[in-house]
Amino acid sequence: MPYVRPDVANILAMLAAQPGPKMEEGDAATARAAMKMMGQMVERPRTDVAEIKDISIPSPHGHTIPARLYRSTLATDPAPVLLFYHGGGWVIGDLDVYDSLCAEVCSILNMTVVSVDYRLAPEHPFPAATEDCLAATSWLAGSPAVIGHAVTGIVPAGDSAGGNLAAVVSLELHGKLPVPILAQWLIYPGVDMTANSGSMVDFADGYLLTAGTMAWFTQHYMGDSDLLHPWASPLHAASLAGQPPTLVFTCGLDPLRDQGRAYAGKLIAAGVRTIFREAEGQIHGSVTIRGAIPSAQDDLHANLRDLKLLIAESLAAQPAQQLAAE
């Protein structure tokens, strides 16, 4: 039997005792409501920051993208921004479910955060979510006035499906924006739609995220699309060379664990500055279950210490990189 932290074992026992159908036995609307309800029970209260407000991001595809802005200070000095893409298998999740997490990240990093409410499947299948995240990132790089300060760099970040989206944003836009992508933070990312062995089998059931739920997510999002498309499975991109400094975080009891490990390994092999962190005895989804799993708060803060280091290193390197470009 794998090691399970005591606080993780408690919530797994609680979830196992809950009656009702599995997520994959219902529809998307029911699953979205269930995720929001669960978040209210298991997440920590939102910490206070200087400003939180809902904003709208224009999209070249004819719609607006809802987002939420978090500011740790009302100072107008130019500064970088962390752009967060939420998890939920491209089918569930929203700004409210991730509200506490984004406020915590804003507070601990002392950094502006923008959380993106991209379009969800099955109403908007692949590649709608990716298109929205690319559009949001390009918009942010232009220092829109609503942010409250000039944007000097971007940090794409996200968990699970959001980790996939952050990885794809970096693959597509690194080096192509008017400001640099300083680092990326991939939280138990889904980066291989074809994964069907290893941790996908070892933790297929009983650890919150199940193989059945992953298959349900994938079918809703991908339909008949190519699972090996680099926007679906960035692990299979031709190369990861030249990617921004990266923090990859995995959990030891997660079906997605092995693909996160593999992505970190491929980044390192490509010469990318990479920090890999794994939480032993921890489950998928832990960054938004910190109320029920106190040790997940420690995991989050350890991640943020690593991310601060990567951002600081990247900022320190910017003058030298600019001179080299000139």
- Annotated active-site positions, please? 160, 254, 284
Nearest to 120 by CA among 42, 43, 31: 31
Nearest to 182 by CA among 258, 91, 109: 109
For residues 81 and 326, give the distance between their C-alpha atoms in angstroms, rounded to a whole number. Answer: 25
Do residues 184 and 155 touch, judged by C-beta distance below 8 A? Answer: yes
Nearest to 266 by CA among 237, 240, 231, 296: 240
Cβ neighbours around 138 below 10 Å, total: 18
Beta strands in 62-121 (DSSP E): 64-71, 79-85, 112-116
The per-residue b/e assignment along 152-174, b for 16 or more CB within 10 angstroms, e otherwise, is bbbbbbbbbbbbbbbbbbbbbbb
For residues 62 and 51, give the distance between their C-alpha atoms in angstroms, rounded to a whole number. Answer: 29
Q: Give me the amino acid identity at 122.
A: P
Q: Give me the amino acid identity at 259.
A: Q
For residues 30 and 201, give the distance between their C-alpha atoms in angstroms, rounded to a whole number. Answer: 26
Do residues 164 and 236 touch, judged by C-beta distance below 8 A? Answer: no
Nearest to 269 by CA among 236, 240, 248: 240
For residues 115 and 65, give the distance between their C-alpha atoms in angstroms, rounded to a whole number. Answer: 10
Nearest to 46 by CA among 125, 95, 103, 129: 103
- In this structure, what DSSP letter does residue 151 have? E
Do residues 78 and 152 touch, judged by C-beta distance below 8 A? Answer: yes
Residue 23 token pair: 């997520």
